């Protein structure tokens, strides 16, 4: 089950569970769509993969025990240890390759 991390690891923007602005990589690194497009060029600074929109966990229980009420999102904020310059330095050489060819 996804953590649903509460913030962008780059700019620290709040990303509540129902937002459509959250993007994740296959390891659940979480960034806002603005940072993915303008800083990271769709390159995860941790694994080098691409991003997809983070799924939204229902707030309403449609099936017993399945909702944010029963599986709450994480409240642990994560921040990247890299500067924006370091993030761009990783992304620039590989951003032209599609994620499936990196």
> Would you say residue 1 lies in a domain?
no
* 61 contacts: CB under 8 Å, gap ≥ 6: 67, 69, 70
Q: Which stretches does DSSP call E strand in 7-102?
A: 22-24, 30-32, 52-53
How sure is the predictor about 41, in pLDDT bands with cuts at 50, 70 and 90? very high
Coil/strand/helix, residue 14: strand
> Would you say residue 88 lies in a domain?
yes
The stretch 70-82 carries a mean pLDDT of 96
pLDDT at 33: 98
pLDDT at 93: 95
Task: Give the CA-trace dihedral at 101, 5, 66, 18, to 10 degrees.
Answer: -90
pLDDT at 78: 96
> Would you say residue 63 lies in a domain?
yes
> Would you say residue 4 lies in a domain?
no
> Would you say residue 78 lies in a domain?
yes
Domain enclosing residue 63, as ranges = 22-94
> Would you say residue 101 lies in a domain?
no
Q: Based on the structure, what is the number of domains in the chain?
A: 1
> Would you say residue 13 lies in a domain?
no
How sure is the predictor about 30, in pLDDT bands with cuts at 50, 70 and 90? very high
Retrieve residue 79's tokens. Answer: 């921040």
> Would you say residue 70 lies in a domain?
yes
DSSP assignment, residue 53?
A: E
Q: What is the pTM of this model?
A: 0.90
């Amino acid at each position: 089950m996804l953590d649903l991390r509460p913030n962008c690891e780059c700019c620290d923007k709040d990303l509540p569970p129902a937002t459509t602005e959250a993007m994740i990589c296959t390891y659940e690194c979480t960034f806002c769509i603005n940072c993915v497009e303008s800083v990271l060029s769709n390159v995860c600074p941790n694994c080098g993969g691409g991003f997809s929109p983070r799924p939204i966990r229902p707030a309403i229980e449609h099936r017993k025990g399945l909702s944010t009420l029963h599986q709450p999102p994480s409240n642990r904020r994560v921040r990247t240890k890299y500067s924006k310059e370091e993030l761009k330095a990783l992304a620039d050489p590989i951003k032209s390759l599609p994620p499936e060819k990196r």
